[in-house]
Amino acid sequence: MTTLAILTAAGSGARLGRDLPKALVGLGGIPLVLHAARRLAGSGVVDALVVTAPGGMRDVITHLLTADASVTIPVTVVDGGPTRQASVAAGLAAAGTSHEVVLVHDAARPLVPADLIRRVVGAVRAGHDAVVPGLPVTDTVKQVAPGEDAELVVGTPDRARLRAVQTPQGFTRELLERAHKAGQDRSGSEAVAATDDAGLVEALGEPVHIVRGDPAAAKITTERDLRIAALELED
Ligand code: C5P
């Protein structure tokens, strides 16, 4: 069973407030997308990489990854889409049919540990068709509805049963393709694109399993997240 990873890097990173797309922002002098690609390639369980590039950045990202001695697996770079879901679909279209397992990983999680990548791939190979890494939630989470001058709390889910999910998320290629196809068919009626791939699988009614996540795979959204990641890199 071989594995292909789709590395989503086409976001603008508006919340980071830089001139560059987030995937090209440096962490310890190395762009986030290169950190993530090195970790996927170095895990020993990923055989090929498809990267979704932000507008006009395909050549830059191709050069960055193919010139790096640590990215030892074949890399294809495609243009991303207007949403993360559309970018993953573009990645899947370029993935071909020779890999049975597909990981989807966000370049916004550059310090993902190799152990976590191996845990996800191992669980898919062991027979779970959809696997996501998750961590217990430490904050109490409220569900809200719009209110007149302040949001209204409509529920408090039991924290013990909540998980904050990360990437890479792993799937059999067949299931991920089916989930994206159904998601595209629905997209006329549903305005909001899925923020993760497991959500599309859940919408099919197919089971999704959780493996233990890792705080080091934290997502970089803000300048503060970037500073915390830089501290982790120094350790
Ligand atoms: O926007 P968000 O931080 O949730 O994006 C998660 C990941 O999806 C990032 O790595 C980003 O580059 C990627 N993305 C993408 N195409 C988009 C939007 C986001 O590949 N249109």
For ligand 1, say whether the CB of 166 is within 6 Å of any of its atoms. no
d(CA 2, CA 53): 24
Residue numbers of the domain that contains 36: 3-134+163-234
Question: Is 28 among the domain residues?
Answer: yes
Question: Is 154 among the domain residues?
Answer: no
For ligand 1, say whether the CB of 167 is within 6 Å of any of its atoms. no
The rounded mean pLDDT for the chain is 95
Q: Whose CA is nearest to atom 7 of ligand 1?
A: 106
What pLDDT score does 190 carry? 54
CATH number of the domain bearing residue 180: 3.90.550.10
For ligand 1, say whether the CB of 108 is within 6 Å of any of its atoms. yes
Question: Is 30 among the domain residues?
Answer: yes
Question: Is 107 among the domain residues?
Answer: yes
Instruction: Indicate the Cα dihedral angle 88, 17, 67, 173, nearest 10°.
Output: -10
For ligand 1, say whether the CB of 106 is within 6 Å of any of its atoms. yes
For ligand 1, say whether the CB of 11 is within 6 Å of any of its atoms. yes
CB 176, CB 199: distance < 8 Å: no
Question: Is 140 among the domain residues?
Answer: no
Q: Which residue has the tokens 């990548």?
A: 117
For ligand 1, say whether the CB of 45 is within 6 Å of any of its atoms. no
Question: Is 146 among the domain residues?
Answer: no
Q: Whose CA is nearest to atom 5 of ligand 1?
A: 11
Count structural domains, the chain: 1
ipTM of the complex model: 0.97
d(CA 228, CA 235): 11
Task: Give distance in angstroms: CA of 148 to centre of ligand 1.
Answer: 32
For a mutational test of ligand 1's pocket, the pick from 33, 39, 79, 84, i.e. the residue with the most ligand atoms closer than 8 A to its C-beta, is 84
What's the pLDDT tens digit per position in 61-114? 999 999 999 999 999 999 999 999 999 999 999 999 999 999 999 999 999 999
Question: Is 157 among the domain residues?
Answer: no
Report strand pairing: 3-8 vs 101-106: parallel
For a mutational test of ligand 1's pocket, the pick from 18, 35, 40, 87, i.e. the residue with the most ligand atoms closer than 8 A to its C-beta, is 87
Q: Which residue has the tokens 């998601």?
A: 183
d(CA 134, CA 137): 9
Question: Is 139 among the domain residues?
Answer: no
What's the pLDDT tens digit per position in 5-21? 999 999 988 889 888 99
d(CA 219, CA 32): 11
- The answer to whether residue 194 scores a pLDDT higher than 90 is no
Ligand 1 atom at minimal distance to the Cα of residue 32:
10
Q: What is this structure's pTM? A: 0.96
